[in-house]
Amino acid sequence: YIQFFLTDVAVTVHGQTALLTCTENILSGAPAPEDEEGPGPLLGQLVVATNLFRRTAAGWRLWSHHASPVLTRDDDEEEGPDEESRGPGDATPA
């Protein structure tokens, strides 16, 4: 089982090319544990996606697709003092 909900959709068209960016909210069914009957739990994931389309004689065709997972911090995790004070480009301490 897999289901997609698209949010944050933005479309820009320039001539025969269209750029679509969105957030893919993915819901899928995990396998059931071996010692249990019935379906497994539902799992969710967020992915940000960029899609490039070209218009052809046959209509709009997907030219390129790129997606990256959205990383989230667990509520139980706390930022350490090093993470708060580091700026962009600062090296990670060894």
- Single pTM value for the model: 0.64
Q: Cβ distance 21 to 8 under 8 Å?
A: yes
Q: What is the pLDDT of residue 31?
A: 80
Per-residue pLDDT tens digits for 8-17: 999 999 999 9
Inform me whether the pLDDT recorded for 94 exceeds 50.
no
Per-residue pLDDT tens digits for 53-87: 999 999 999 999 999 999 887 656 666 555 555 55
Nearest to residue 3, comparing CAs of 31, 51, 66, 45? 45
The full set of domain ranges for the chain reads 2-70
Quickly state the pLDDT bin for 22 (edges 50, 70, 90): very high
Which CATH number is associated with domain 2-70?
A: 3.10.450.50
β-bridge partners, 46: 25
